[in-house]
Each structure stands twice: as structure tokens, then as C-alpha cells.
Amino acid sequence: MEILVCVKRVPDPSENEIEVNRDGTDIERDDLVYSVNEWDNYAVEEAIQIRDKVGGSVTVVSVGDEEAEEVIRREMAMGADKGILLSDDAFEGSDGKGIAAILTAQVKKGNYDLILTGAQSDDGAAQVGGMLAAMLDWPFASLVNFIEILDDKKIKVGREIAGGNQEIYEMDLPCVLSIQTGINEPRYVSIRGIRKVASLEIPVHTAGDLGILPESVGETGAKTKCLDYFVPELGDGAQILEGSTDEIIDNLIELLKAKGGIK
């Protein structure tokens, strides 16, 4: 099975304090520590596990500048077989649809059975996976937390829905799945693994290589634009209920009544 996993280089929230710049047009990016998007990491791990069970190969692909090569190599050190960087000045400033269009062009150059993305990789909008599937006219499922390969034409997936419930589907291959965290436990990336892939060549595909008109992507082709970044104002904080269990229950009921939550 040929699996393509879309990954993205993003600021690591565990290593940075994210601040908005003075004019509110972006976050402060100087001296930020970057890593692979968390959801994408689970997608790569799932792809590796599928490959190990049924055979085939795993390719990771990223849209970005030359620094995005860092996360591609990391996922190859994790166990992916190949990596591809999609990089061109024309891609800068692409919205979700633009990123999906760039990825679609790459998919059409290959022969993939399954495409995995992180459930939330595009500034939290959770849109690229669905747009990619629509452009390819392939089946799509989001928030996937279970995958079983039935045969070379069908796959069974479980997806998380409201209330902690689960939906199970059978889908035709090829298809696109957006992977939820918790589907697995991503493996540790060793220094030895990083050194092993350090000298491997990562192919770079430009707009010309992909047959993309530069004006159709990037800021020129973007249909949505971010107008403002801001930090929400802090509220009054939480009210801590103290006392015995019975006292806390009684106080909680009174609070809910007073707030109109129950009658």
C-alpha cells in the first residue's frame, strides 16, 4: 500500500510563549522553536503501522520553505520511507484551498492508495484534508481514531463524534483520512535515526514541476485572509467549591439554579 502523509512545520506550543505582534497581523516569530504539527505526527505513526502490517511504503510531504525539510527528515527518522518538499515563492501566503490545490497536484503525480493528514494542521481550521479529498473526488473521513485495512480496495475506519460516541464506516480506496490524536502512540525518534536520514536527498517540487499557475495559489489566489490576531481578555476565573462531597453537590445545585442551568 502506497501511503502519503501530509505534514507541516509549526511553532511548538510546549517550547514557546506565543505572542501577537504589535500591529496584530501575526504572531511574533523571532526565536520560535518549531516542530512537526502534533496531529500530523499521529498520522505518520499510523501510516508506518499500516505499512508494517500490509506492506508498501510511506511518503511524507510538506508545503513550505527550505526549513520545512527539518520536519520531513524527522518523520523519515521516525520510519517513513521517503519525503517530498513542495516549495516555491509562489506558495507563500496560500490559504487552505491553496495548500489543498498544491497537495492535489502532487498526489496526481504519484500513485497513492491512502492519504493521511492531521485532523488540525492548517492554523486549527481543519480544512485541508476535506478540500484535498474534494479536489481529488476521493472519499473522506475526519477525526479518525481507528483504521483497519480490509483488503486492497476497502478500509474500515472509526471516527470520533459528539458525546464520546464512535462511528464506524467502510470506505473505498483510495481515500483521504484526517487523523485524530490518541489513535496511537507515536514512536520515539532516536539520534541514530536522525543521523541515518541526514544525508538523504529530499526532492523539491516547485509550481512549475507541479503544473500549478503561480497566480492560482499564494496571496494572489487566496480567497480567505486573516484580518486580525488578538489575545482574548481573561475572565474572572473559576469558582472553587470547597467542603465535603455532599456540601459541594448542594452548592453546585444552587449555583446551577441561580445561573438558570436547572430549575
3-class DSSP string for 119-150: CCCCCCCCCHHHHHHHHHCCCEEEEEEEEEEC
Range of the domain at 74: 2-221
Burial class (CB in 10 A: 0-12, 13-18, 19+), 206: middle
- Say whether 249 sits in a helix, a strand or coil: helix
The pLDDT profile of the chain, 263 residues, written as one tens digit per residue, is: 999 999 999 888 778 787 888 887 778 888 888 889 999 999 999 999 999 999 999 999 999 999 999 999 999 999 999 999 999 999 999 999 999 999 999 999 999 999 999 998 766 778 999 999 999 999 999 999 999 999 999 999 999 888 888 999 999 999 999 999 999 999 999 999 999 999 999 999 999 999 999 999 999 999 988 888 887 887 777 788 899 999 999 999 988 888 877 87
- Segments in 21-68 forming alpha helices (H): 38-54
Phi-psi region of 218 (alpha: psi -120 to 50; beta: other; left: phi over 0): left
- Would you say 170 and 156 are in contact if contact means Cβ atoms under 8 Å apart? yes
Residue 236 counted as domain residue: no
Residue 143 counted as domain residue: yes
The DSSP 8-state label assigned to residue 24 in this structure reads S
Give the pLDDT of residue 122: 67
C-alpha cell at 28: 511574533
How far apart are the C-alpha atoms of 66 and 89, rounded to whole Å?
Answer: 11
Domain count, the chain: 1
Give the pLDDT of residue 100: 96
Report pTM: 0.85
Closest CA to 122 of 152, 98, 153: 98
C-alpha cell at 190: 532516536
Q: What Cα–Cα distance (Å) separates residue 259 from each residue in 50, 120, 152, 234, 254?
A: 50, 34, 55, 20, 9
Residue 257 counted as domain residue: no
Residue 251 counted as domain residue: no
Residue 69 counted as domain residue: yes
Residue 263 counted as domain residue: no
Residue 156 counted as domain residue: yes
- β-pairing verdict for 82-86 and 57-63: parallel
Question: How large is the angle between the packed helices 69-78 and 38-54, nearest 10 degrees?
Answer: 40
- Would you say 179 and 144 are in contact if contact means Cβ atoms under 8 Å apart? yes
Give the pLDDT of residue 16: 78
The DSSP 8-state label assigned to residue 145 in this structure reads E
CATH code, domain carrying 118: 3.40.50.620
Our CA angle for 55, 61, 65, nearest 5°, is 160
Residue 15 counted as domain residue: yes
